[in-house]
Amino acid sequence: MGFSLWGHSRSAREKQQRAQVAPTALSATAIEDAFPATKPTRGERIQSMWADPMGRISTRALQLLIIVLMTTGVVIALLNLTLVVLPTLIGLIVACALWPLVRLCRKAMNATLAATTVFVGSLLVLGGIGTALFYSVRAEWPQLVEKGTAGVQELQYLLSHLPFEIPQEQIDNAFTSIKDFFLSAQFGAGALNGLSAAGNFVTGLALFLVILFFFLKDGDKMWEFFLSWLPRNVRGRWHRSGLKTVSVFGGYMRGTATVAAVDAIGIALALMILQVPLALPLGVLVFVGAFIPMVGATIAGILAVLVALVANGPMVALIVLAAVILVQQLEGNFLQPVVMGNALSLHPLIILVALTGGTVLGGLVGAVISVPLTAVAWAVIKIWSGRDEENVAQRKVEEAQAEIEAEKGRELGTDHESHDRHDSETSDAPEATPISEAK
């Protein structure tokens, strides 16, 4: 009897367990029937294939390759449209340099009259100075070429008679390479070869003047029209990029002109004091050469030393060399940081690479505009990567505010802990027994 009861009770428990498991099994079956397993689509398979580390690396490499190809295509297109690109770029740079004068004139007159005043005034001033320098230098230019050639020959002679021997063939090859470079189609007389191939210099000059006038007159309206076509979430960065471009281009041109004038005046005065001939033409060359950073004014200074070597001897040439180095060190260490400000915040190596690339692609014009273009590109990259001055200052303010809030939170937490500790000590202390009750 007991065995049958035990067996019956075990059978009942098994039935109860099966009854409890059955709904779960049915539920799983129902879920599988309702949501049958599907094969991954082609898009999902491709996405999973590129989701591993090697796939992500391949994706980045493909994106980089596309960017390089697009950049190369843009550069090739711009090189084939030199007649349009060069006047536009130079007009933009000059307009940025003259924009403060336009804003000042707009306070007293309308936009058209202000642009006309600045445009005509700049042409008169620059044209007058250029004409005066041209006629003063033209008469002495053949003599300058002759003295420079004689200076090169004198330098070759001195190098061949040094205490240590330098093969004459190497000296001749070095000077020949330098001469061929400056007389090649990439530089010197062929510096505007892009304009010559696409049209002529007069057409480019006329286009530059027209573009400059309209940039001075309607530059701000053009920029506002461009911004109106952009999504609202990126207008702020684009606007800051435009303001930074105007600041860098304008600051670079105004600063370079000031530094070039100081260099030219300082070196020309030194040449006049030492009674070196052709002081004025050499000063003009120093002024023009200063618009090519790092190398332009140096080359003009070397030419001044060569002229002094031929006309006045080695001792005066050494004094001229010392004067050139002194003037360039003073402007590089004291004047340029004050005048240029943050307009040219580039490492010297970057400047050298930009100069080389600009000279190879555009000759003399490329050498002049390559550095400001590189400076603008770097400034825009910093804005879009959040590393410009405004974003950095905003982050510092936010970090300072967060630190203040955290400090307040720590102080409040300390006050709460001391208050809770005081309450716990008060509650744990034994209650005082009245004297009457003690008795």
Segment 309-362, tens digit of pLDDT? 877 888 988 999 999 999 888 877 787 777 776 666 777 788 888 888 887 777
At residue 38, the 3 state secondary structure works out as coil
Structure tokens at 185: 């189609």
Residue 308 pLDDT > 50, yes or no?
yes
**What integer pLDDT is reported at residue 424 of this predicted model?**
61
User: CA-CA distance, 123 to 112, in Å (whole number)?
Assistant: 16
Residue 264 pLDDT > 70, yes or no?
yes
Over residues 185-199, the mean pLDDT reads 46
Q: In Å, how far are 86, 207, 388 from 82, measured between CA atoms?
A: 6, 12, 32
Residue 73 pLDDT > 50, yes or no?
yes
Question: What is the enclosing helix (H) or strand (E) of 245?
Answer: helix 232-273
435 falls in which pLDDT band (50, 70, 90)? very low
Q: In Å, how far are 26, 28, 39, 191 from 32, measured between CA atoms?
A: 10, 6, 14, 77
**What integer pLDDT is reported at residue 404 of this predicted model?**
79
**What integer pLDDT is reported at residue 178 of this predicted model?**
58
Question: What is the enclosing helix (H) or strand (E) of 246?
Answer: helix 232-273
Check if the beta carbon of residue 351 is closer than 8 Å to that of residue 367. Answer: no
195 Cβ partners below 8 Å, 6+ apart? 82, 83, 86, 201, 203, 204
Check if the beta carbon of residue 303 is closer than 8 Å to that of residue 141. Answer: no
User: CA-CA distance, 94 to 372, in Å (whole number)?
Assistant: 12
Q: Where are the domains of the chain?
A: 81-394
More confident residue, 34 or 123: 123
User: CA-CA distance, 302 to 308, in Å (whole number)?
Assistant: 10
Check if the beta carbon of residue 118 is closer than 8 Å to that of residue 101. Answer: yes
Query: Which of 249, 254, 246, 248 lies closest to 223 in space, CA to CA?
Result: 246
161 falls in which pLDDT band (50, 70, 90)? low
212 falls in which pLDDT band (50, 70, 90)? very high
User: CA-CA distance, 146 to 386, in Å (whole number)?
Assistant: 55
Instruction: Give the DSSP per-residue string, 138-193.
Output: HTTHHHHHHHHHHHHHHHHHHHHTSSS---HHHHHHHHHHHHHHHTSTTSGGGTTH
